[in-house]
Amino acid sequence: MKFLDEYFMRQALKEAIYAFEKNEIPVGAIIGFKNNIIAQAHNLTKKLKDVSAHAELQVIGAAELYLKGKYKSLKECSLYVTLEPCIMCSGAILLAKLGSLVFGASNISFNKVIHNIESSLLLESFFKKRRKYL
Would you name the residues annotated as active-site residues? 56
Should residue 95 be labelled a site residue for a second copy when binding is judged by CB under 8 A? yes
Q: What is the CA radius of gyration of the chain?
A: 14
- What values do phi and psi take at 66, rounded to 5? -70, -40
Strands 28-33 and 36-42: antiparallel
Closest distance between a second copy and the C-beta of residue 6, in Å?
28
Residue 128 is which amino acid? K
Q: Mask of contacts with a second copy, 44-73, x by CB under 8 A? A: ----xxxxxx---x--xx--xx--xx----
Q: Interface residues with a second copy (CB under 8 A)?
A: 48-53, 57, 60-61, 64-65, 68-69, 86-92, 94-96
